Chain A
Amino acid sequence: MSHSVKICNVVKRYDDFVAVNDISCEIKQGEFFTLLGPSGCGKTTLLRMIAGFNTIDGGKIYFDDKVINNIEAYKRDIGMVFQNYAIFPHMTVFDNVAYGLKARKVPKSEIEPRVLKALDLVQIMNLKDRKPSELSGGQQQRVALARAIVIKPGVLLMDEPLSNLDAKLRVQMRTIIRKLQRDLNITTIYVTHDQEEALAISDRIAIINSGRIMQVDTPATIYKKPQNTFVAGFIGTSNFMDGKIEQIGPDGVARIKLDAGFEFSIKLKKKYEGRVKISVRPEQFIMNDSGESGLPGEIQMYTFLGDFANYEVKLKNGQIIQANEYTKDIDFVREIGHKVNLGFNPEKVSIFNEEGTEVLS
């Protein structure tokens, strides 16, 4: 049975630079948990702290109820898949996978069946006598995966395991990883900078920026209900527009006026006055040739992408907005220079405070 992982106020400093800044989160037993963020955000540092390759400068990490801060890396009983696979080049595939079992003094009679089973799970049984130099990137990745799971680790860590593969293989491998993780029910912490990969593979995602957690949620919630403008901008495409609360009623219904020239009313969860930022996804716009309720603009550029068309629309205040329109709904393409009106459903868009740090709607 794999462990749950609890990260409490964890800090990592390099001289003046704080790489991991007071991060706390809990990962449930058997969960597929992803650390997602731009490069240099501290996600790999955090993963390596869990693995024991980086020291923990503050806070505590628990496996179940046990603090692991002072347990040495080689005693933590973790499986890890490295970004560049880290296959031992002087050993065969079989010996690579058996390495961890030998270190655990597993009886010889047990090693072979376990290794073969692991190789079978990642579908490379036929490669067991090969040397790593004779394997392709995808095959090496499978060896790395087999080597990590064969020891039945308490926690499985993966550091950007798919980033060196080509696009097609990436999709294939992530399905294999996900299935394997579910079947074996291993608590998995996965690091990536690829948002699509994170959305596809995870039970929950922690978005990290500058060493801090921005939001922890399921993929759908992260996409639909971003907690701040960083998350809204990092996941998918968002159009940010500035505006101002004109008036707010006792019932919490606020009248918001956008700088680009459009007013709408929405009930806010929090009391707030002053300037706001709203974020609208390109597919949330409803595009009309004319009309009253919406943002007036002019098409600057269009890109036809098959199932939908992407438009760049210049608003009255000069801001350029991305808007998508499904091609199944229309039988013409809007040309450059056309005047349009962009409407949206206020209930669906996100409204943030002026700094973009807090969601209001």
Chain B
Amino acid sequence: MNAESAPRRNLTKYFNFWNFVKYGSLLLLLVFLVYPFFSVIIHSFLDSDGGFTLASYKTFFTKPYYYRTLWNSLATSGLSTIFAVLLGVPLAYITTRFNVYWKKCINMLIIMSLMSPPFIGAYSWIMLLGRNGLITNLFAKMGITTPPIYGFGGIVLVFTLKFFPYVYLYVSGAMSSIDRSLEEAAENLGSSKLKRVLTITMPVIMPTLAAGAIMVFMSSLADFGTPMLIGEGYKVLPVLVYEEYMSEMGGNANMAGALSVVIICCSTAVLLIQKYVVARKNYVMTALRPPIVEQLTKGKRILLTALCMLVAVIAFLPQIVVIVTSFIKTNGPIFVQGFGLESYEKIFYKLSKNITNTFLFAIIAIVIIIVFGMLLSYLVVKKKSKISSALDLLLMFPYVIPGAVLGISMLVAFNKKPLMLSGTAIIMIIAYVIRKMPYTIRSSSALLYQIDPSIEEASINLGVSPMKTFFKITARMMAPGVLSGAILSWITTINELSSSIMLYSGKTATISVAIYTEVVRSSFGTAAALASILTVTTILSLLLFNWVSKGKVSVI
């Protein structure tokens, strides 16, 4: 009897701290993630008097104004995914298998275009190809009319250029981790080069390629800023969610709720496909001998380099455009000849609150993300239990949720006492933490999996209690992973638009919200100056990330 009950008592003492973390974070997630979602789902089944109804769904599926947005969303996301694959795969093949020049530079440009503020692409392409765009005007002078950038075509163009880096980065990772012997074996068995690529290389990287394509699809589906700016009359789901909610302000978010449920269903379906169909076929490989990089003749080498650079530069172009235009002299909202700092003067005079808000909220959010991210990834990886796997699932859920939907759910849930949070800075910070924590958790977990459990046991064995061991040994060893993840969380937080636009009030507006409102007011100069601040911060943070992670942690 004694021997049976005693170890159990011991065990509770042993894991006390972790139990606290476990149940504490479960409670927080239930309150700030699960509860809001249920609120939205419930709201979608309510009429304006609070009774049960399917009216919202009926309206959605019968009225073209509504159901067309679903089709539009799927069409733009689907087509962008196809283009992203067509662009990303050959580019990845070229940079991993041939000795093109400036590989690092090409990679960095592509990573930067992925991590750029979400709507900068749309904004810049309007600056170039819009009604009064640089290129449009240039061609107009020559008497050529360029096709309009607004609507379907523009959305697909921007999505493709912004999200193809997912395909590129995933595939080039897989390409360089195929062991040389695999292709050598195929060659040895008498298959030609093309046949080798089609029968060995492509099938092996297929799961990774699919994972990249799904990231493109999901990101496009969730993106709000791009279609909002460049779509004009062409509406996609997240835009409709925003408009519906704004027009229902003060009332019930019933229709917006129903739309949110539709989006969540779509992205969950895609994610499940990824998890159960694609991920199953994954081939785990650690390249002992990376594939041969083919040495090209000088002419071919220059040609391929130029091709890669062209794609990378076009993808990066929006950020150059933004920075350049931020220095163009303006007269009110209109650009005039010559360069100057008026735009910056204006934003520091008018919009300095947005800048401080952005960095203040982001810093607070990151501190919370680092603390929770570290503890939670440890729980999920090292203290496996039913609750910790439930936590894992819940924590990854925000990946699936578009920011606009998260924003609405939080508004619906926290617009009444006892948790009256709408309009406060707190609600924005909470949204950032929930939405951006997965980056930190994923990168810390990746590192934790590599830490052998016996390292901790060695410390405990030498007389250091488990909790002290966590801080003295494990936390130290996790640090690079946590830090790299935190930088990614940071970059995506300062650039966050879709949830901010739902949650901000006059006092809590951030830079990205200000960019959006300035663009809507056609004040392109100030918008460019604000966007430049974000872009430069992002680039500096990415450089820091590269330095911290030493290439061991991937941005995706």
Contact = CB atoms under 8 A, between A and B. Distances in A.
A151 B461 CA distance: 11
A38 interface: no
Contacts of B462: 74, 99-100, 103, 147, 151
Contacts, number: 82
B7 A82 contact: no
A52 B459 CA distance: 13
Contacts of A99: 459, 462, 464
A252 interface: no
Interface stretch (B124-132, B370-378, B449-457, B498-506): B449-457
Given A78-B461, A83-B454, A99-B462, A56 B3 contact: yes
Listed residue (A53, A58, A79) with the most chain B CB atoms within 10 angstroms of its CB = A53
A328 interface: no
A168 interface: no
Given A72-B10, A88-B473, A151-B462, A82 B3 contact: no
Contacts of A57: 4, 7
B455 A73 contact: no
B463 interface: yes
B6 interface: yes
Given A58-B3, A72-B10, A72-B14, A86 B455 contact: yes
A77 to B, nearest CB: 7
A87 B462 CA distance: 12
Q: Is the interface of A mostly helix, strand, loop or mixed?
A: loop
B476 A104 contact: no
Nearest to B451: A89
Interface string A215-231: 00000000000000000
Contacts of A86: 452, 454-455, 457-458
Contact of A69 (B7, B457, B461, B464): B7
Interface extent on B, as a size class? 20 to 34
A60 interface: yes
A72 B459 CA distance: 13
Contacts of A100: 462-463
A70 B463 contact: no
Given A53-B457, A86-B452, A90-B476, A74 B7 contact: no
Given A56-B7, A58-B3, A74 B473 contact: no
Given A80-B458, A82-B454, A84-B452, A74 B6 contact: no
Listed residue (B454, B462, B477) with the most chain A CB atoms within 10 angstroms of its CB = B462
B466 interface: yes
Nearest to B461: A80
A103 B458 contact: no
Nearest to B466: A74
Listed residue (A78, A79, A100) with the most chain B CB atoms within 10 angstroms of its CB = A100
A227 to B, nearest CB: 29
Nearest to B9: A70
Given A84-B452, A86-B452, A86-B454, A74 B463 contact: yes
Contacts of A75: 463
B501 to A, nearest CB: 43
Contacts of B465: 72, 74
Interface string B433-469: 0000000000000000000101101111111111001
A86 B459 CA distance: 9
Contacts of A79: 461
B11 interface: yes
Given A55-B7, A60-B3, A72-B14, A82 B463 contact: no
30 contacts: A51-B457, A51-B461, A52-B461, A55-B7, A55-B10, A69-B3, A69-B6, A69-B7, A70-B10, A72-B10, A72-B14, A73-B457, A73-B460, A73-B461, A74-B464, A74-B465, A74-B466, A75-B463, A79-B461, A80-B457, A82-B454, A84-B452, A86-B452, A86-B457, A86-B458, A87-B458, A89-B455, A90-B476, A151-B462, A151-B463
Given A51-B457, A80-B458, A87-B458, 11 more contacts: A53-B460, A58-B3, A73-B457, A74-B460, A74-B462, A74-B463, A88-B459, A99-B462, A100-B463, A104-B463, A147-B458
Sort A-B residue pairs by CB-CB distance and give the 4 closest, nearest first. A100-B462, A86-B458, A86-B454, A103-B463
Interface of B: 3-4, 6-7, 9-11, 13-14, 452, 454-455, 457-466, 469, 473, 476-477
Interface of A: 51-53, 55-60, 69-70, 72-80, 82-84, 86-90, 99-100, 103-104, 144, 147, 151
